Amino acid sequence: MGQYLLQWEQAWADELTADWFGYHALQMGMPALDALRHNRMPKRWLALGLSEPGSAHLRIDPCALPFAEDSLDLVVLPHTLELSADPHATLREVARVLVPEGRLLIFGLNPNSLWGYRQARARLWRRLFRAELVLPESGEFIGTSRLRDWLDLLNFDSEPLRYGAYVPALQSPTWLRRMGWMDRMGSRWWPFLGAAYAQVAVKRVHGMRLIEPAWRERKRAARALVATGSGSVTSRVSLTPPSP
């Protein structure tokens, strides 16, 4: 199941990040996914949590990023929010360090899917019959509606979601291949029930223009009529600016 999910996420990461330009890109978590391998930004880093296994360029706390404000052009969060102690605080930090018009790519597991249903059922049965969980116990599914609400609050523009991984949660590679037809049918007939999703968001900074009192004096002066002459021909030109 993990390899099946990883292949889907790697394919989308390669396609989405290939044409995103800038200078600094950061992937937070999940070293098995090389989300930036096709990206062409000159500075690309992999950061892992303080206790997350694996080798990386940085060890960080997702809720307190060691980057200056407006310093990163791209941030990738592969299941980082699900494993964060405070996912909303992590998103706030990402919004702080992203430059205006910077991009954010989030991978997550959909609770409204066959995988989500089986995990919820296994957690319930585990208390009664010691059923085995199909997914790791740590982490919490974050629904797409909840995630998009968080992004709206932080002034992100969310692009259309990409869903995938429609095959049921099966441990057998043989049965995963046999059920591959569900991926082809799912994207057409039940697209919102994919086990995984990819969300792209763009940071927007709304501009603000102040009208100062001194501008009123310049506006009155511009309304004055200026006489211009050439030989025996004299014309009067109005310098009144057009209405805003």
Which residues 6+ apart lie within 8 Å of 229 measured at CB? 235
Residue 235 falls inside a structural domain: no
Whole-angstrom distance, CA of residue 74 vs CA of residue 91: 13
For residue 9, being part of any structural domain is answered with yes
Residue 209 lies in a domain: no
Within a domain: residue 101?
yes
Specify whether the CB–CB gap between 46 and 27 falls below 8 A: yes
Phi, psi of 183 (to 5 degrees): -65, -40
Q: Is residue 219 part of a domain?
A: no
Dihedral sign of CA atoms 16, 18, 23, 25 in order: positive
- The model's pTM is 0.78
On average, the pLDDT of the chain sits at 82
Cα torsion 76, 80, 84, 90 to 10°: value is 10
Overall average pLDDT of the 123-151 stretch = 76
Q: CA Rg, the chain, in Å?
A: 26
Range of the domain at 161: 2-203
Residue 115 pLDDT class (50, 70, 90 cuts): confident
Residue 226 lies in a domain: no
Q: Rounded to whole angstroms, how far apart are CA atoms 148 and 96?
A: 17
Q: Strands 72-78 and 162-164: what pairing?
A: unpaired
Domain with residue 146: its CATH number is 3.40.50.150
Structural domain contains residue 164: yes
- Tens digits of residue pLDDT in 186-243: 777 778 889 899 999 999 987 645 454 554 555 555 555 444 444 444 444 444 445 5
Is 228 within a domain?
Answer: no
Token pair of 222 as six digits: 């511009």
pLDDT tier at 113, thresholds 50, 70, 90: confident
Domain count, the chain: 1
DSSP for residue 193: G
- Closest by Cα among 73, 79, 62, 61 to 97: 73
